[in-house]
Amino acid sequence: MRWGAGSVSGDMTRTAVLAILARHGGLSRAEIAEQLELSPATITTITRRLLDAGLVEEGEPRTSHTGRPSIPLELVPDSAHALGVQVAHEHVTGVLTQLDATVVHGFRHPFDPSRPDAVDVLTTLIRSEIESAAERRLPLLGVGIAVPGVVEPETGTLRMSVRLGWTGMPLAARMRAALGVPVFVDNDISAVTAAERLYGAGADCADFLLVAIGEGIGLGMVLDGAPYRGAAGAAGEFGHMPILQDGPVCSCGNRGCLETQVSTESLLRRARELGIVGPAASLEDLRAVAAEGDQAGLDLLHRAGELLGRALAGSVNLLGPERVVVIGEISMLWPFLAASFHRALADHLLPCVRETSIDTRPWADDLIAIGAAGIVLATPLAAPRQSIRSGV
């Protein structure tokens, strides 16, 4: 299992040690080195720092029939906490997690990013949660904020967010100055991808893609063991892949993007326009119509599955991942897209990548917030680039 060093939060190898102890617990230094494919000397250096910081502790020595007794290392879950916040265009969702990513508290508030004082409102919400953690005497490592859009990894500046309507927003710097704690900002899907790499099924997979389909469409990439964000954090805008020459105008200003055909927002809008569902219908209503066998509804979803399969085949052919994980609100409609998706995918994959596994996951409302907390959990001892570059 290869571990790359590139991430928004610095060297992931330290975090990999914490994550593997969170998943398995009670591992010796030699076992950690073997599982992470790192040198014993590297693990010795990392674990010494983790012990000094009180994030891990030594367990009782384990005797063996051969050689010296081994000393297992165990995580101290409540030794540190992280506050993860997802900022969406209608709400803010957040969680407080322990070092092992266990959620100890969650919250959700309505939010309007178009307000002139939107950042101040967000600051007030987060400050309230920080104060609550302090009252409960929960040691806080910092705050992770996940946003839809292009985030500059070096500074935590939100370069562009169509969903929030924010451009050139130095979000990490502003929040850090206002809150007085470490604050890290990342793209929402990149945050979930990093969490999947550390704590999820992707922990044992050095090359995988995570496709998130909801109101927008994003692509998270782990390549050669490390999350890949591209130049200035601009990688992963899968929803803006052009697929129709004369398609409808996308929220990004271009025409014919994948997002205009496959996002849950576009599917629901098209279903309303065609009279498949009523003008006030929800995604659940569209699912119910499809389940009842409405042919127009099924045709709409079959077409979406075909376009998604074709587009994703191009990405798999290009990057050659071992696994693809599909998440998001689209999971509600997936039974009606799956057949056409898999057929189109198979028709366009190169023979050498046809063994790529495709997994779909149920959607959880706090998934992105948990990923945002993971941004912070990835930086307990690493030198976070956003802090270095901002002089903090």
Report residue 9's pLDDT band, with 50, 70 and 90 as the boundaries. Answer: very low
228 and 337 fall within a common domain: yes
203 located within any domain: no
Can you give the C-alpha Rg of the chain in angstroms? 22
**166-169 vs 226-228, strand pairing mode:** unpaired
382 and 338 fall within a common domain: no
114 located within any domain: yes
72 located within any domain: yes
Total number of domains constituting the chain: 3
199 located within any domain: no
Q: Which pLDDT does position 177 carry in this prediction? A: 93
Q: Three-state DSSP class for 272? A: helix
Average pLDDT over residues 143-172: 91
Q: Which pLDDT does position 2 carry in this prediction? A: 43
Domain final residue pick, 33, 61, 77: 77
CATH number at residue 42: 1.10.10.10
Q: Which of 108 and 16 is assigned the larger pLDDT?
A: 108
324 and 213 fall within a common domain: yes
Average pLDDT over residues 95-122: 94
CATH number at residue 227: 3.30.420.40
Q: Report the chain's mean pLDDT, rounded to a whole number.
A: 88
- pLDDT greater than 70 at residue 383: no
- pLDDT greater than 50 at residue 134: yes
52 and 96 fall within a common domain: no
214 located within any domain: yes
What span, in angstroms and rounded, lies between the C-alpha atoms of 298 and 347? 21
Average pLDDT over residues 143-159: 90
Q: Which pLDDT does position 239 carry in this prediction? A: 93
339 and 318 fall within a common domain: yes
List, in order, residues 6 or more apart from 44 with CB less than 8 Å away: 29
Domain final residue pick, 77, 101, 119: 77
229 located within any domain: yes
1 located within any domain: no
226 and 175 fall within a common domain: no
58 and 84 fall within a common domain: no
Average pLDDT over residues 83-92: 94
Average pLDDT over residues 341-364: 93
Instruction: Using alpha carbons, list the distances in angstroms from residue 304 to 239, 286, 290.
Output: 13, 14, 13
DSSP character string of 329-384: GGGGTHHHHHHHHHHHHHHHS-GGGTT-EEEE----TTHHHHHHHHHHHT-SSS--
Domain final residue pick, 33, 57, 77: 77
131 and 162 fall within a common domain: yes
Report residue 5's pLDDT band, with 50, 70 and 90 as the boundaries. Answer: very low
pTM assigned to the model: 0.84
Q: Which pLDDT does position 129 carry in this prediction? A: 96
116 located within any domain: yes
239 and 298 fall within a common domain: yes
The 10s digit of each residue's pLDDT in 164-176 is: 999 999 999 999 9
- Which structural domain, as residue segments, surrounds residue 278? 208-360
237 and 156 fall within a common domain: no
- pLDDT greater than 60 at residue 390: no
Report residue 214's pLDDT band, with 50, 70 and 90 as the boundaries. Answer: very high
217 and 352 fall within a common domain: yes
70 and 88 fall within a common domain: no
What span, in angstroms and rounded, lies between the C-alpha atoms of 174 and 386? 12
Report residue 338's pLDDT band, with 50, 70 and 90 as the boundaries. Answer: very high
Q: Three-state DSSP class for 98? A: strand
- pLDDT greater than 50 at residue 1: no
Q: Which of 381 and 163 is assigned the larger pLDDT?
A: 163
The 10s digit of each residue's pLDDT in 250-275 is: 988 899 999 999 999 999 999 999 99
What span, in angstroms and rounded, lies between the C-alpha atoms of 143 and 374? 10
List alpha helices for 76-217, DSSP H: 118-135, 171-179, 188-199
What span, in angstroms and rounded, lies between the C-alpha atoms of 15 and 101? 12
